[in-house]
A and B are shown apart, each in its own frame.
Chain A
Amino acid sequence: MSDTVEFSATGELADRPRDIRTAHSGADRVFRLTATSVGALVLVVTGSIGVFLAYQGVPTFRRYGLSFLTDSAFDPNLNKVGILAAIVGTVEVAIIALVIAFPLAITSALYISEYAPQRIKSFLVSLVDLMAAIPSVIYGAWGLFVLQPQLLWVARWLATWLGWIPIFDVPGSDPRAANLAASRYEQSAFCAGAVVAMMVIPLACSVMMNVFNQAPPGEREAAYALGSTRWGMIRAVVLPFGRGGIIGGTMLGLGRALGETIAVLLIAQQAFDVKIRVLETGTVTISALVANNFGDSSPIQLKALLAAGFVLFLMTLVVNTFAAVVVGRSRSGAGVDI
């Protein structure tokens, strides 16, 4: 069904299929119209998500202006509505999640595409799919009861030895104390980010895996024929070929991490100050802020939360569209130099 004209090696016209798109019957016209309008509907829905949230946010933007984005306190009852702390927290949690998830995602993707025995390969692929479909509330619960108590020790280790770097500083903690002062490390951006990482891994992993699988077999064999080890082959063939997938998968993971709600809500304790000390108790993300305050909010507060949702929508839309473009380009083979 290609509508391009192909040339043979001598430059003449290859035999050309007759144009089959001349006249459409009535049923065809209805079919094409329906399908196209449903396609358009998807665009309209995406567009109206933005429009509705923006429209609901207008009173907030008008009233608070730029201070909506630059003020850190969120307390509509005291007439303070700013989401700077939430924006910073969202980015922090997402970056921590990516730092943890990226190495695990790329190693699992490489394992499945390069190391796993052929027999269990498709089983592993569906395990990754399953991991992506496990509800976030389950990861959140696991993170809260199992992962967080373990992470506290790691957090204390980081604070003790790397505390001189501002982001790892935890003021008031005593590294020489025999007991772990859990309350200083619990419910931090670090813990929330680690749990969100569990959800980012399968998403990023499957994108990377699909691209790695498409690395040309001829070149793999060529690398082996030249005496390369498996790692040498991966470095010379698979990774350069999969660069688009690695970037795109990571960006998609970032989009997911920015928007994750329930896990952050379960782990993190709300704290409305802009802080870069990620190991310290208390953080807030846009999604957690909205979900936490939505249930019992006054109309004014509601508008502010919808405006915050609009900011989140914009952030994720930009990241996701960028990722979709990068992945799409890598799939078609363009933009990947081998």
Chain B
Amino acid sequence: MTMLEERPLDEPFAADPATARRQAATSPETADRPRSISSRTFDDRMSLGGSAVASLCLVWLLYTVVLPMSGKLGFVLLWFVAFVLLYAGVTAVSQPGPVVRDRIASAVIQGGAAVVLLVLVFTVAYTFVRGFPAYRHLNFFTQDMSSAGPSDPLTQGGIKHAVVGSLIELGIAVLIALPLGLTTAVFMTEIGGRFGRIVRTIVESMTALPDLVAGLFIYAFLLIALGQERNGFAAAVALSITMLPIIARSADVVLRIVPGGLREASLALGASHWRTVWSVVLPTARPGLATALILGMARGIGETAPVLIVSQPSAYFESNPFHNPMNSLPLFAYTGIRAPDTNSHTRGFGAACVLLATVIVLFVVIRILARQRRARDARPRPWTRLARRASS
């Protein structure tokens, strides 16, 4: 995925000078520390707080008394605009132009970031709150929907089939996408060349390939051309097509920052290219590769459109991926939310919660992996020391 481009703070080694400089700047002993540029006086704090309160009161007055306007979103937007204007005005009384511009920019930038954070928090919180009623019934996790109609009370029916379907599909997709993705990444970094650059550009553009198109391709390939039926396996292959570029791309990023000195040391000791990759490059990048896999899984488990195209929202439990249509969590959530009645909504949100919780757990695992890596990098690993000795 694009967002994995580079995570400078998490990476063990600095391959290029820019990263080295950044690392030097973050470790306390070596860096010359920049002076603090955020000293705030009493006056500054007061003008900030005063503008916030004044703009809130002004907009409240406008909204409720003077002008015929309504809607919470509009209120917040207007409040923010009024705040920025007031803050700029108050600052302009005592400060020169560049400071006024700096404060406007700072207010706008932090406001924008706050909006994005709020969206994330609201989305997660809303999903959990709406899905909560479904959890109070244990059958939600132990039954499928074969015996329950969509509008039946929550004491009947559950998402067992969707959970199992998701797990099987994801498992098959990982089995396909992981070896291919890693090998592609190894090819791009270790062999490369002109062809490698072409592959890299294509992989990068494939990361944003619409999931629907992946589903359509598998439909045209497996179902029409090879005559398979709609089943879980086809859905898994479609998922692996969306996961492959993500795994390849993020693995590529971590393999690229394995320092060249390690490779050269290994080659200088007489190891073959293959031996170097297998015993030096891949082990060095192992935590990063695990992150790549988890990111691919997080993306794959949430894909709805491919499953919608090549499998079907079936209500029955099915553990054979080659036989009948298989449901999956995102698909179950989608059909539930699209249905007109409240019980379906709650079931849909319940499935969405399980999905969201899985994604969040995967991300917590990534964080833990990254932290372990940083702790371990504090002391150099044996082969790092060897390589250093060899290169000096």
- Interface-forming stretch among B64-72, B143-151, B157-165, B382-390? B64-72
Contact with B along A32-62 (1 / 0, CB 8 A): 1011101111110110110011011000000
Contacts A141-B127, A141-B348, A217-B21 given; indicate if A28 touches B274 (C-beta within 8 A): yes
- Interface-forming stretch among A162-170, A203-211, A275-283? A203-211
B4 CB-CB contact with A under 8 Å: yes
Contact with A along B260-301 (1 / 0, CB 8 A): 100110010000111101000000000000000001001101
A67 CB-CB contact with B under 8 Å: no
A138, A144, A153, A262 — most chain B CB neighbours (10 Å): A138
Contacts A42-B248, A142-B123, A153-B70 given; indicate if A207 touches B213 (C-beta within 8 A): no
- Interface-forming stretch among B42-50, B132-140, B314-322, B352-360? B352-360
* Closest chain A CB from B296 CB (angstroms): 10
Q: Which residues of B contact A258 (CB under 8 A)?
A: 210
Which residues of chain B from 347 to 392 have any CB-CB distance to chain A below 8 Å in the complex?
348-349, 352, 355-356, 359-360, 362-363, 366-367, 370
User: Cβ of B73 and Cβ of A323 under 8 Å apart?
Assistant: no
Contacts A111-B112, A214-B18 given; indicate if A20 touches B267 (C-beta within 8 A): yes
User: Cβ of A157 and Cβ of B74 under 8 Å apart?
Assistant: yes
Bound together, the chains give a CA A265 to CA B184 distance in angstroms of 34
A133 CB-CB contact with B under 8 Å: yes
Bound together, the chains give a CA A126 to CA B245 distance in angstroms of 20
- Interface-forming stretch among B53-61, B81-89, B100-108? B100-108
Bound together, the chains give a CA A138 to CA B272 distance in angstroms of 49
User: Cβ of A324 and Cβ of B201 under 8 Å apart?
Assistant: yes
Could you say which of B112, B212, B334 contacts A104, with CB atoms under 8 Å apart?
B112
User: Cβ of B210 and Cβ of A294 under 8 Å apart?
Assistant: no
- Contact size range, A: 35 or more
User: Cβ of B210 and Cβ of A122 under 8 Å apart?
Assistant: no
Bound together, the chains give a CA A306 to CA B206 distance in angstroms of 19
User: Cβ of A136 and Cβ of B183 under 8 Å apart?
Assistant: no
User: Cβ of A138 and Cβ of B102 under 8 Å apart?
Assistant: no
Chain A residue nearest in CB terms to B201: A324
Q: Which residues of A contact B111 (CB under 8 A)?
A: 107
User: Cβ of B123 and Cβ of A139 under 8 Å apart?
Assistant: yes
A174 CB-CB contact with B under 8 Å: no
Q: Which residues of A contact B127 (CB under 8 A)?
A: 138, 141-142
Could you say which of A52, A201, A259, A331 contacts B225, with CB atoms under 8 Å apart?
A52
Q: Which residues of B contact A259 (CB under 8 A)?
A: 208-213
A184 CB-CB contact with B under 8 Å: no
User: Cβ of B305 and Cβ of A140 under 8 Å apart?
Assistant: no
Bound together, the chains give a CA A238 to CA B180 distance in angstroms of 37
Which residues of chain A from 267 to 326 have any CB-CB distance to chain B below 8 Å in the complex?
287, 290-291, 294-295, 305-306, 309, 312-313, 316-317, 320-321, 323-325
User: Cβ of A216 and Cβ of B18 under 8 Å apart?
Assistant: yes
A65 CB-CB contact with B under 8 Å: no
User: Cβ of A111 and Cβ of B113 under 8 Å apart?
Assistant: yes
User: Cβ of A39 and Cβ of B355 under 8 Å apart?
Assistant: no
B312 CB-CB contact with A under 8 Å: yes
Bound together, the chains give a CA A4 to CA B115 distance in angstroms of 48
Contact with A along B1-45 (1 / 0, CB 8 A): 111111111100000001001100110000000110100000000
Q: Which residues of A contact B191 (CB under 8 A)?
A: 32, 35-36, 39
Q: Which residues of B contact A256 (CB under 8 A)?
A: 208, 210
Which residues of chain A from 122 to 176 have any CB-CB distance to chain B below 8 Å in the complex?
122-123, 125-142, 144-146, 150-154, 157
Contacts A130-B363, A213-B8, A291-B308 given; indicate if A107 touches B109 (C-beta within 8 A): yes
Chain A residue nearest in CB terms to B331: A137
Q: Which residues of B contact A25 (CB under 8 A)?
A: 272, 274
Which residues of chain B from 181 to 199 have any CB-CB distance to chain A below 8 Å in the complex?
183-184, 186-188, 190-191, 195-196, 198-199
Q: Which residues of A contact B186 (CB under 8 A)?
A: 35
Contact with A along B298-340 (1 / 0, CB 8 A): 1101111100110010000000000000000010011001100
A86 CB-CB contact with B under 8 Å: no
Could you say which of A118, A133, A153, A214 contacts B74, with CB atoms under 8 Å apart?
A153
Contacts A138-B352, A321-B201 given; indicate if A38 touches B183 (C-beta within 8 A): yes
A25, A141, A142, A228 — most chain B CB neighbours (10 Å): A141
Bound together, the chains give a CA A20 to CA B272 distance in angstroms of 10
Contacts A135-B355, A138-B333, A142-B123 given; indicate if A53 touches B202 (C-beta within 8 A): no
* Closest chain B CB from A141 CB (angstroms): 5
Bound together, the chains give a CA A305 to CA B205 distance in angstroms of 23
B120 CB-CB contact with A under 8 Å: yes
User: Cβ of A122 and Cβ of B7 under 8 Å apart?
Assistant: yes
User: Cβ of A56 and Cβ of B3 under 8 Å apart?
Assistant: no
User: Cβ of B184 and Cβ of A52 under 8 Å apart?
Assistant: no
Could you say which of A39, A41, A139, A210 contacts B196, with CB atoms under 8 Å apart?
A39
Q: Which residues of A contact B126 (CB under 8 A)?
A: 142, 145-146
Could you say which of B1, B74, B98, B274 contacts A27, with CB atoms under 8 Å apart?
B274
B216 CB-CB contact with A under 8 Å: yes
Bound together, the chains give a CA A78 to CA B333 distance in angstroms of 33
Q: Which residues of B contact A46 (CB under 8 A)?
A: 202, 206
* Closest chain A CB from B282 CB (angstroms): 12
User: Cβ of B71 and Cβ of A39 under 8 Å apart?
Assistant: no
Chain A residue nearest in CB terms to B264: A1
Q: Which residues of B contact A180 (CB under 8 A)?
A: 70
User: Cβ of A150 and Cβ of B73 under 8 Å apart?
Assistant: yes
Chain B residue nearest in CB terms to A258: B210
A63 CB-CB contact with B under 8 Å: no
Contacts A107-B108, A291-B309 given; indicate if A260 touches B210 (C-beta within 8 A): yes
Bound together, the chains give a CA A268 to CA B191 distance in angstroms of 47
Known: A42-B245, A138-B352. 11 other contacts (CB 8 A): A42-B244, A126-B367, A129-B363, A135-B359, A141-B127, A141-B333, A145-B126, A230-B37, A232-B101, A259-B209, A262-B334
Residues of B with Cβ closer than 8 Å to A? Answer: 1-10, 18, 21-22, 25-26, 34-35, 37, 69-74, 77, 98-99, 101-102, 104-106, 108-113, 115-117, 119-120, 122-124, 126-127, 130, 180, 183-184, 186-188, 190-191, 195-196, 198-214, 216-217, 219-221, 224-225, 241, 244-245, 248, 260, 263-264, 267, 272-275, 277, 295, 298-299, 301-305, 308-309, 312, 330, 333-334, 337-338, 348-349, 352, 355-356, 359-360, 362-363, 366-367, 370
